[in-house]
Chains A and B, each alone.
Chain A
Amino acid sequence: MNGNGPEGEAWAADGKDKAMVVGDDELKGGDEVEKEGVQKTEGNVLEVEDLKKYYKLKGELFSKPRYVKAIAGVSFNIKPGEMMGMVGETGCGKTVVARLIVRVEDPTGGAIRFHGVDIAKMKGKKLRQFRKNAQMIFQDPYASLNPRMTVLQSVSEPLFNYGMRKEPEKVYTKVVKALEDAGLLPVKEYLERFPHELSGGERQRVSIARAIILKPSFIIADEPVSMLDVSIRAGIMQLLLSLREEYGIACLLITHDFSVARYVCDNITVMYLGRFVEKAETEELIQNPIHPYTKALLQAVPVADPTREKEELPISGDIPSPIDTPSGCVFRTRCPYAIDSCADSMPELVEMRPGHKVACHRVARGEI
């Protein structure tokens, strides 16, 4: 990545969406990071269409190649300022979706448009802009921080990459602010430490600071608070909400914690084995889940009450291997309501109540 100096150009390259640069008083300066400010678009920040990702597995020589069908066709849009939550069992494909969106990997099929522009076609300056505006907080803070960089270096790196090389004091101030926002207090005690000198939750906060420091227009947060306790977690959730208030940041929040999703997300999408099975506005989904899988998920949420008898889960067994996915509805092998015909075809997402979509044959027919 190279190319520096001021770039005033905004998104919406194909003219479909009108993008505008929202000035930011505090950010007046002469470099790339500052001048550009934060953009708000009228159209969608992100459009994902029929996204697919298959991984080829190394097998025996001459045997038929086998594939992990990590993502089997998902579509969604995210509007400016929207907080979309994504939940689902481990291994169902959440992280792969995220990696495809930030272009760490290329999809097997489908399209991803960022502010109307196909990210697969981005090159040079466009790509650079994209990398700055779409930030990802990676799931594993043990693997995602450079072990040879101190906290100060890690968090200032994005600023240096985007043109603030000549203003070390400003960088320093921004780094301290970002770390404060991320709740790593007292900041000064951490700046010179390396990742291995931090606890799990502390690393997570460094990753968060790194992602917000460029004031991106879109953040993908992959389990950003999984290692944090409630009080710090609340601070981070508040931070995401205030970034939205102030800068209209949109966010795709991947989490297995419904209480986190409930706190920050406008809507929640439930994923199962590479597909979406239910989608609705947050409270609606949590209070009135329809898909049998979502119901089971919500029932499994631990409650802080040791006196309560733990009820058995309505579903048993494990998520099937994405190598040989079941025919028809992917959930049928574990679904308590499955009947023979569920194996015939893949159910589509159908709107069952206003804004509440469910992919289940029997729900669609009104049988359950």
Chain B
Amino acid sequence: MHLLEVKDLKIHFKIEDGWVEAVDGVSFYLDAGETLGLVGESGCGKSTTAFAITQLLPKNAYIKGGSIVFKGKDLLKYLKKDGTIRLFDERMRKLRWSEISIIFQGAMDAFNPVYRMGKQIEEAMYAHPEALPRTLGPVGEETARRPSKELREAVRKRVEDLFDVVGLPKDRVDNYPHEFSEGMRQRALIAMALTLAPSLIIADEPTTALDVITQYKILKEMADIQKRYRTSMILISHDVSAVAELADRMAVMYAGRLVEIAAPLDLFMNPCHPYTGGLLVTIPTIKGDKEAMMARIQSMPGSPPSLVNPPPGCRFHPRCPIAKDICSKAVPEPVEVDPGHIVWCHKVRTESEGNEW
């Protein structure tokens, strides 16, 4: 059994004049201790997928189909009839932070501006007494409603330790969110996600606000934590190189759908989907000729399609250099080109069946 299995997930947003088909048939799985990198252009549905798993979707989101099975339980079973989710489902609240935690994309949004940083992380711990023994040992077993001095000290120490882990000075624990820089808030958020040692961490652009040195350290730290606790992770980013360093498998998303899943090495050495190929060529570098780099960056023509009126068939076909008739007519079915390497593309499918494209 996989830790998490997402099948044919469809999430559409209702807006004034229609629907945004933000996620439209996404399927993937994740095993314990594994890291899945989710990459793709801005607006392609990465965060929406994450919010669906944590059930934090906004009110105008409608789940149009599919399932999300976590540890054998279908998280979407408690859907309301109209397809929306019960936002304050008590069961989900318990899962959040202690079983599944999310590092949000906008770090400022995630903190309450009127409480001190450390306090907010402590509160998250007290709110989940069931998870305390796991992270604090025997002290954590006492009731958190009226914490003893000992428990309070243990919780405090855990917060300070986590600050250490993410490289924040301990003397800033009692600062307010606005007193932190963007990258510091981001790191505090990572600390918060780690507090209860959950089995799944979803990190939405965890390092975009960070400089390369901090990024390097945080990613390394996250890899360590993951090994230590066998935590699974979904790492969302538009930065393919950063994700590639940590992920066991990478899923490339385009306009609300997956186009390719593969181990980083396979993806880089043998990208099969034309979009993946294009994406990899455009990765900028600081080495080599500047003019050549500029030319490469601009080599992918066009922009991602509207998700309100998405193109029929393969959503990449208007930009695809090798598209044929069928591409605008039928949605491509997945093909496994190598074990674990899955591609959604008519050309790849045709060729895998021994026919010429």
Is B308 in contact with A313, judged by CB distance below 8 angstroms? Answer: no
Is B306 in contact with A189, judged by CB distance below 8 angstroms? Answer: yes
Task: Check if A53 is an interface residue, CB within 8 A of chain B.
Answer: no
Number of A-B contacts (CB under 8 A): 181
Is A302 in contact with B297, judged by CB distance below 8 angstroms? Answer: no
| Nearest chain B residue, comparing its CB with the CB of A318 | B167
What B residues does A202 contact at CB under 8 A? 42-43
Q: A186 to B175, alpha carbons, bound, how many Å?
A: 42
Is A229 in contact with B283, judged by CB distance below 8 angstroms? Answer: no
Is A90 in contact with B42, judged by CB distance below 8 angstroms? Answer: no
What B residues does A141 contact at CB under 8 A? 106
Is A90 in contact with B211, judged by CB distance below 8 angstroms? Answer: yes
Write the nearest CB–CB distance from A151 to chain B, whole angstroms: 12
Write the nearest CB–CB distance from A146 to chain B, whole angstroms: 14
Is A223 in contact with B286, judged by CB distance below 8 angstroms? Answer: no
Is A226 in contact with B209, judged by CB distance below 8 angstroms? Answer: yes
Is B43 in contact with A201, judged by CB distance below 8 angstroms? Answer: yes
What A residues does B60 contact at CB under 8 A? 197
What A residues does B168 contact at CB under 8 A? 318
* Other-chain residue from B15, B210, B242 in contact with A193 (beta carbon distance below 8 A): B15
Known contacts being A140-B182, A196-B58, is A231 close to B303, with CB within 8 Å? yes
Task: Check if B268 is an interface residue, CB within 8 A of chain A.
Answer: yes
Stretch at the interface among A162-170, A171-179, A304-312, A342-350: A304-312
Known contacts being A259-B284, A302-B245, is A199 close to B109, with CB within 8 Å? no
Task: Check if A127 is an interface residue, CB within 8 A of chain B.
Answer: no
Q: Mark B277-301, 1 if CB is under 8 A from A, else 0.
A: 0011011111100100110011010
Task: Check if B108 is an interface residue, CB within 8 A of chain A.
Answer: yes
Question: How big is the B interface, by class?
Answer: 35 or more
Is A323 in contact with B171, judged by CB distance below 8 angstroms? Answer: yes
* Other-chain residue from B15, B16, B211, B242 in contact with A87 (beta carbon distance below 8 A): B211
Task: Check if B133 is an interface residue, CB within 8 A of chain A.
Answer: no
Measuring CB to CB, which residues of chain A are less than 8 angstroms from any residue of chain B?
A: 55, 57, 68, 87-91, 94-95, 139-143, 183, 185-186, 189, 192-193, 196-197, 199-202, 204, 223, 226-234, 238, 256, 258-260, 262-263, 283, 286, 296-298, 300-307, 310, 313, 315, 318, 320-321, 323
Could you give 24 example pairs across A and B, Cβ below 8 Å?
Answer: A89-B211, A90-B187, A91-B181, A139-B209, A140-B108, A142-B105, A143-B106, A192-B15, A199-B43, A200-B105, A223-B182, A226-B208, A227-B205, A227-B238, A229-B238, A259-B293, A263-B294, A297-B213, A298-B286, A300-B212, A305-B241, A305-B268, A318-B169, A321-B171
Measuring CB to CB, which residues of chain B are less than 8 angstroms from any residue of chain A?
A: 13, 15-17, 40-43, 46-47, 58, 60, 105-109, 167-169, 171-172, 175, 179-184, 186-187, 205, 208-217, 238-242, 244-245, 264-265, 268, 279-280, 282-287, 290, 293-294, 297-298, 300, 303, 306, 308
Closest 8 CB pairs of A and B: A90-B183, A201-B42, A142-B106, A259-B284, A256-B211, A321-B169, A304-B241, A229-B238
